[in-house]
Structure 1
Amino acid sequence: MSRKRSYPHARETRTASTRKRLSQNFLTDPAVARSIVRDSGVGPDDLVLEVGPGDGMITRHLLPVAGHVLAYEKDRHYVERLRRRYAGEERLRCFHADFRDVREPSEAFAVVANAPFSITTDIVRWCLGARNLTSATLVTQIEFARKHSGDFGRWTKLAVSSWPETTLELGRRIGRGRFHPVPQVDAAVLHLERRDEPLLPRRSMGEYRRLVELGFTGVGGSLPASLRRAYPSGVVGRACARAGIARDEPVGFVDPERWLTLFRVLP
């Protein structure tokens, strides 16, 4: 007897292909979603931008605590679904849009998101470049969160460049089994918090970032070697000694506080 072959339903095929294309890994645990919102610290006076709400697992926990929520979703299916579900909720607006193309609000706002893993770096850069951002609470791949918060004992150029104005801290770990489809790795929360008082004057930030760019060129295999491309050897040696930077120290091992010392002592 021949066995009848089973084919996937067209809707299932479409959903699977769309999730893969849009890097969709939806959070399935309400307790985790609730803890993410709680850890974000948003309150009734806050405007919150949510990136990639999907089926609304985080949205449903944001609405009871936030003032207003603007949700940006690339998948039209979920945009329409959320609009129907919250048709009478004036504090939520859901947009069919790529968050990377969104113009920041003219008022203070926070970001809370289970960010699509494939565009996490773009989302972090968007947040760091938004002048009115107060904080961002982002679910990312765990390696990404650890790398950009210094948890590996190494620091990225992105983290060092933004440190005078914004802290980047590692939050709770989230097991891969809390998502659907299940991703290949665990996730973690990365917290960005805008400093009330920057560690450097705003007028100095361009010069500071040019120094960081120079240091991360990787020339010579160490931070001091890279700096000697623009400064005399003796000046670099004295500045690095003041900052506690070894002569052969790789740039990734230099934490942001030593970068700030280096910037302040270099002529």
Structure 2
Amino acid sequence: MLGQNFLRDERTIAQIVTSARPDPAGLLLEVGAGQGALTRELARRCRRVVAYEIDPELAARLGEEFRAEPGVRVVQGDFVASRPPAEPFAVIGNIPYASTSRIVNWCLDAPRISTATLVTQLEYARKRCGDYGRWTLRTVQTWPWLHWRLAGRIPRERFRPVPRVDSGILRLERRQVPLLPASQLTAYQRFVALGFGGVGGSLCASLQRGYPARRVDAALRANRVPADTTVGYVWPEQWIALFRAIHTTRW
């Protein structure tokens, strides 16, 4: 069973599906189908579901259960080894905690993904969504075209076997209109990496390694970001504003 904690609670299944808001006519990929608790609900709501399960025995059982369902296809294998669909699609899943980073990175790199709704450790979801008032590098780098949100919390007692920690519903949603032009996204990611990779944790000191000090100081003042602010406490919207002020203005 590869470390997966299975859902039994109908309220939780409804909570996850409601958070996902799946398009009944769209393509939906389920990660870690397990014993099929989510799959059954998704099959009732959606015309096209591809359910991935890495465990051969569980995948075989699901394949037999949904053999007569033309809208459901069960795939035995590692989800992150699959190629993203060429058409728009959404992802949903109660995923194994140990595979969280791999699955999230797959979703972030998929060019046609519209949304991803993933059950993760609550701590992971809170950190990625700025719930502690701090923001991670990966979240900030992808913010111009992806919105990260903690869509709900799930008590650990609602899973079997019961995990040691509570879970969160991590919601990723592609913005219809990116906050930066596509031509600037690579430069923006480098800009953020420079800010996070600097000296002493100060955003000002980090950015001054790559840009003139006066330009950095002026941009920080204009956006009301104290010069000694630790990078993790800078909001994604502030990063974008600083990028515009520093990078897109010639000096």
TM-score (norm 1): 0.90
Aligned residue number for residue 77 of structure 2: 97
Q: Could you tell me which residue of structure 2 aligns to residue 166 of structure 1?
A: 146
Counterpart of 1:12?
none
- The aligned residue for residue 265 of structure 1 is 245
**Distance (Å, rounded) in 1 between the aligned partners of 2:228 and 2:196:** 14
The CA deviation string for residues 118-147 of structure 1, in whole angstroms up to 9 with x for no partner, is: 111111111111111110111000011111
SS of residue matched to 2:68: coil
- After TM superposition, list the pairs within 5 Å mapping 1:187-198 onto structure 2: 187-198=167-178
2:166 matched residue in structure 1? 186
Give unpaired runs (5+ residues) of structure 2: none
In structure 1, the residue matched to 2:197 is 217
Matched, 1:83 2:63: yes
Deviation larger for 221-230 or 204-213: 221-230
Q: Which of 14, 20, 23 does residue 43 from structure 1 map onto?
A: 23
Q: Matched residues, percent identical?
A: 46
Structure 1 alignment gaps of length 5 or more: 1-18
Equivalent position of 1:226 in the other structure: 206
Which stretch of structure 1 is more off in the superposition, 175-184 or 231-240?
231-240
* Equivalent of residue 41 in structure 2, options 58, 61, 64: 61
If the length of structure 2 is used for normalisation, what is the TM-score? Answer: 0.96
Does structure 2 conserve the Cα–Cα contact (< 8 Å) formed by 1:27 and 1:57?
yes
Q: Deviations over 1:209-253 (max 9, x none)?
A: 000110111412211111111112222111111222111100000
SS at match of 1:240: helix
Distance in 1 (CA, whole Å) between partners of 2:137 and 2:3 is 25
Provide the C-alpha distance between the structure 1 equivalents of 2:54 and 2:37, rounded to a whole number of angstroms. 16
Provide, for residues 191-222 of structure 1, a one-character-per-residue CA deviation record: whole Å limited to 9, x for no partner: 10100010111110000000011011141221
Number of aligned residue pairs: 247
Tell me the CA shift for residue 43 of structure 1.
Answer: 2.7
Asked if 1:156 corresponds to 2:136, the answer is: yes
Which of the pair has more CA radius of gyration?
1
**Counterparts of 1:38 and 1:46 in 2: how far apart (Å)?**
16
Partner of 2:219: 239
Shift of 1:40: 0.8
Deviation string, structure 1 residues 93-140 (Cα, Å, up to 9, x no partner): 111111111101111100010011111111111111111111011100
- Which moves more between the two structures, 27-36 or 202-211? 27-36
